[in-house]
Structure 1
Amino acid sequence: MPKWCDMNRDEVAAAARSGAVAVLPLGAIEQHGAHLPTGTDVLLAVAAADAAVARTGDVVLPALAYGCSLGHTAHWPGTLSLSVATLTAIVTDIGRWVVTSGFRKLVVINSHATNGPSAQSALLTLRHENPSLRTCFASLYDISPEARAGYFSDADDPHANVAETSMVLHLDPELVMLDRAVDEEDRTFSRVLTYPMPDVTRSGVVGQPTAATVDSGTALFAAVVDGVTRLLEQVRAETEPMSDPAAKLPSGDQHSPTKGPS
């Protein structure tokens, strides 16, 4: 599997010339209850990116382990959070150097929800600075309908839940202390405001990790990897919108689905 850190400069350049996609796994270091490691998010992001790139031949960048985990506060030990601005700056700087090495497609594979605003702001800046760079932000928990169903099977706003616990059991069971797992309901259901974690959970868990199994983790992780693989294949194959002959028709003679403001 192509890893940026294992390649020499000529191999990196050759990969860029070949049209390979640069893939940045983005995780977080934060408390995951008493039963999961603080590095759960980066473990999942790296494992999924590595497995997908082993199929597609793209290039995995060194993972960004630290994320934006401000919602966990200092209530529990273990969390190491970047600020919103710092995470934005780091992803932006990494992207600038990816462009310098000749890559024209960058995908961020994320495993922590509140990384989104920072990372997507960085990608917006990179697109503005480098009009030829194509970027994509994707999260493991909604990479496919199957992955989403698994991630949110026991909570609408899960954390250290059955999905994460099962996948870590699959990837590295020695990191899981299932006898310490506790279940807590999702108290954010039907609410529209946002809350820090200590306001919604006593244990630092949201969901039902006591129901976790290796088999369910294996199946869910496979669905996640399949989703990441399909995304990278699409990214690699995608051509410029205006290179499509249909895009050159008069505006009244064509139609495309609405994707939202850009």
Structure 2
Amino acid sequence: MPNWCDMNRDEVAAAARSGAVAVLPLGAIEQHGAHLPTGTDALLAVAATAAAVARTGDVLLPAVAYGCSLGHTARWPGTVSLSVETLTAIVTDIGRWVLTSGFRKLVVINSHATNGPSAQSALLTLRHEHPALRTCFASLYDISAEAHAGYFSDATDPHANVAETSMVLHLDPGLVMLDRAVDEEDRTAGRVLTYPMPDVTHSGVVGRPTSASAQTGTALFTAVVDGVTRLLERVRAETEPFPDRTAESPWNNQHIPTKGPL
């Protein structure tokens, strides 16, 4: 698996010249009830992205383990959240340096819902500043219809639920304390306003983790990795809409009239 941290500078340059995609896993460090580790989102983002990159030959960037987890508040210990602005700045800076190393395609693979606004704001900034860098944002829970169905099987706004618990059981069962798992209904269903986690759950869990199993986790994780793999294959194969233009030069191939006589 091409891993940015394991490559020397010449190998990074060669990968960029080959058309490889730079892939950034984006996770979160936050409470996941009493039965799952605080690094669940980071674990899932890295594991799924690494498995997909091993298939496609693209380059795995060092993960951003911290995310924007402000909704968990200080109600439970374990959460370490970045601000919206900080996460936006981090992803933006990573994109700038990925371009500096010669890559022209950057994909962010996310595992935590409230990372979306920050990460996508960063990609909007990068598109404006550096049109030659093509970017894509995707989340594990929406990477395919099968993945979406698995993630949301027990709640419309799940957290530490059957899906996440099952996938961690598949990846590293020693991290799961299933005897401490509790189920809680999704109290956000049908609501249109947003609420911090302490306002919708007593335990920090939303969903039914007590029904989790490694078998369920294996099937769901496989669906997620398949989805990420298909996305990276499409990203690598995609060509420019106007291949005769230079993305960094918006006036390329356009006539710029000179000022005539007064």
Per the normalisation by structure 1, the TM-score is: 0.92
Q: Does 1:215 find its partner at 2:201?
A: no
3-state SS of the aligned residue for 1:242?
Answer: coil
Distance 1:19 1:242 in 2: 18
Task: Tell me which residue corresponds to 1:109.
Answer: 109
Task: Tell me which residue corresponds to 2:125.
Answer: 125
Shift of 1:165: 0.1
Shift of 1:242: 2.6
Q: Does 1:162 find its partner at 2:162?
A: yes
AA partner of residue 81 (structure 1): S
AA partner of residue 21 (structure 2): V
Matches within 5 A, 1:124-143: 124-143=124-143
Q: Does 1:43 find its partner at 2:43?
A: yes
Deviations 1:20-61 (A, max 9, x none): 000000000000000000000000000000000000000000
Distance 1:48 1:78 in 2: 23
AA partner of residue 33 (structure 1): G
AA partner of residue 149 (structure 2): A
Task: Tell me which residue corresponds to 2:224.
Answer: 224
Task: Tell me which residue corresponds to 1:89.
Answer: 89
3-state SS of the aligned residue for 2:182?
Answer: coil
Distance 1:128 1:225 in 2: 30
- Identical pairs, percent: 88
User: Unaligned regions of 5+ residues in structure 2, if any?
Assistant: 245-262
Deviations 1:166-188 (A, max 9, x none): 00000000000000000000000
Task: Tell me which residue corresponds to 1:26.
Answer: 26
Q: Does 1:201 find its partner at 2:201?
A: yes
Shift of 1:243: 4.1
The alignment yields a C-alpha RMSD, in angstroms, of 0.8
Matches within 5 A, 1:244-259: none
AA partner of residue 59 (structure 1): V
Distance 1:138 1:131 in 2: 20
Distance 1:34 1:82 in 2: 22
Task: Tell me which residue corresponds to 2:78.
Answer: 78
Deviations 1:118-169 (A, max 9, x none): 0000000011111111000000000000000000000000000000000000
AA partner of residue 22 (structure 2): A
User: Unaligned regions of 5+ residues in structure 1, if any?
Assistant: 245-262
Task: Tell me which residue corresponds to 1:253.
Answer: none
Distance 1:17 1:94 in 2: 19
Task: Tell me which residue corresponds to 1:242.
Answer: 242
How many residues end up aligned between the 2 structures? 244
AA partner of residue 61 (structure 1): L
3-state SS of the aligned residue for 1:109?
Answer: strand
Matches within 5 A, 1:148-187: 148-187=148-187
3-state SS of the aligned residue for 1:241?
Answer: coil
AA partner of residue 186 (structure 1): D
3-state SS of the aligned residue for 2:137?
Answer: strand
AA partner of residue 152 (structure 2): F
Per the normalisation by structure 2, the TM-score is: 0.92
Deviations 1:217-239 (A, max 9, x none): 00000000000000000000001
Moved over 3 A (4+): none
3-state SS of the aligned residue for 1:24?
Answer: strand
